[in-house]
A and B are shown apart, each in its own frame.
Chain A
Amino acid sequence: AQSVTQPDIHITVSEGASLELRCNYSYGATPYLFWYVQSPGQGLQLLLKYFSGDTLVQGIKGFEAEFKRSQSSFNLRKPSVHWSDAAEYFCAVGMEYGNKLVFGAGTILRVKS
């Protein structure tokens, strides 16, 4: 069965600093990979996704993520964090012949000024 691990429950970074949120998945074939962001009291918004091809994908709000098959990872990065990036971030994995995504437990990002 698929599973997703986000090892960090909370991360605090200073405004302007770089950010990396970790995501590891367990799945035998090439997965479909997603990152979502959730602001307080809101639904989840898609940041980016990877299906195939170039392993470095660009998303909205200046985020990018890199698929590393050998490490079963799909880490999210941003070179310079803004205070408005404070939110909860979810990694998710899906597969070609299934209808459900499996979500990680989420990482709460705090940004200090």
Chain B
Amino acid sequence: DVKVTQSSRYLVKRTGEKVFLECVQDMDHENMFWYRQDPGLGLRLIYFSYDVKMKEKGDIPEGYSVSREKKERFSLILESASTNQTSMYLCASSFSPRDTNYGYTFGSGTRLTVV
């Protein structure tokens, strides 16, 4: 089975800190995604990447950056954490849509609290 692993289940950080959320997948997926999930707002796409060193902004990229130096790893960076970035962060990966196994596989999520 495909596995997507997020490095932390729970994180508590202080306002202004630089925060790194790590995601690793083990099935050679081309695409990787970062979402945040907030009650009543559903899943909102922050950034995604369709290849190593490639990235594209999603719907809410402000305050975030990403890094994909290796195919299996996609990092989300909060440059200066703020309280409004307190949220559940979900990483996902997938093959391209032209693959018969297309579909996202999600990690278990990281619940980040910024105090």
A42-B108, A42-B109 are known contacts. Are A49 and B90 too (CB-CB below 8 A)? no
* Number of residues on chain B facing chain A (CB within 8 A): 27
Give residues of chain B (48-74) contacting chain A, Cβ–Cβ below 8 Å: 48, 50, 58
Interface residue stretch chosen among B11-19, B78-86, B98-106: B98-106
Give residues of chain A (72-113) contacting chain B, Cβ–Cβ below 8 Å: 90, 92, 94-101, 103-106
Does residue A46 face the partner (Cβ distance < 8 Å to B)? yes
Give residues of chain A (20-52) contacting chain B, Cβ–Cβ below 8 Å: 32, 34, 36, 41-46, 49, 51
**From B50, B96, B104, contact of A101 by CB (8 A):** B104
For B107, list chain A residues within 8 Å (CB): 43
A45 touches B104 (CB 8 A): no
A45 touches B102 (CB 8 A): no
B90 touches A100 (CB 8 A): no
A92, B35: Cα distance in complex, Å: 14
For B96, list chain A residues within 8 Å (CB): 99
A95 touches B106 (CB 8 A): no
A62, B115: Cα distance in complex, Å: 42
Does residue B25 face the partner (Cβ distance < 8 Å to A)? no
Closest chain B CB from A56 CB (angstroms): 18
A41 touches B43 (CB 8 A): no
A48, B6: Cα distance in complex, Å: 23
**From A34, A41, A95, A100, contact of B103 by CB (8 A):** A34
A94, B95: Cα distance in complex, Å: 13
Chain B positions within 8 Å of A, measured between CB atoms, are 4, 31, 33, 40-43, 45, 48, 50, 58, 90, 92, 94, 96-98, 100, 102-109, 111
Query: 6 extra interchain contacts, Cβ-Cβ under 8 A, other than A43-B108, A99-B48?
Result: A42-B108, A43-B107, A46-B105, A94-B102, A97-B97, A105-B42
